[in-house]
Amino acid sequence: MFKKILVPTDGSELALRAAGVAADLAKTHGAEVVGVYVIDPFPYIGIGEASAVGLQAYLAEAQRAAGAALEAVKAACQAQGVAFAGDTIERNVVYEGILETAKAEGCDLIVMASHGRQGVKALVLGSVAQKVLTYSPVPVMVVK
């Protein structure tokens, strides 16, 4: 039924749980898993040398976090004997990066975690899962 499953990750324990669910589904359906980590572009608007140094430090840390998160998804897939490909992208809006990746990779399912923020936290931080659910042209499975 499914051929390619997208798993967005932020490196959290919840995202790893979603990766496990995706790996199980992929094994059942003979599908492959595509992992994506969306890096928010450098938020600092400075001038001079401090800006360049800050940008390099930020990107290095973001790439390290992305690599660790994608390695965890890869390990979940390897444990199930499922093919895995991972990618790190930069986007201002995380849910748009997820949807762009799903389209570019030809994914027919998105499996992602939801942190379940409510009230003011959800209003201020927004819900990536909610936006993916709202705008995705392919089915979305939310793992709580």
One-letter amino acid of 30: G
Q: Among 79, 121, 119, 91, which residue's Cα sits nearest to residue 8?
A: 91
CB 78 within 8 A of CB 94: no
Summarised one tens digit per residue, pLDDT across range 1-17 is: 899 999 999 999 999 99
Domains of the chain listed by start with CATH number? 4-143 (3.40.50.620)
Q: What is the mean pLDDT of the chain?
A: 89
Q: How many residues does the chain have?
A: 144
**Helical ranges in 1-144 per DSSP H:** 13-29, 49-80, 94-105, 119-125, 128-135
Residue 121 has pLDDT above 60, yes or no: no
Lowest mean pLDDT among 1-5, 47-51, 124-128: 47-51
- Residue 26: Cβ within 10 Å count: 27
The pTM of the full predicted model, rounded to 2 decimals, is 0.88
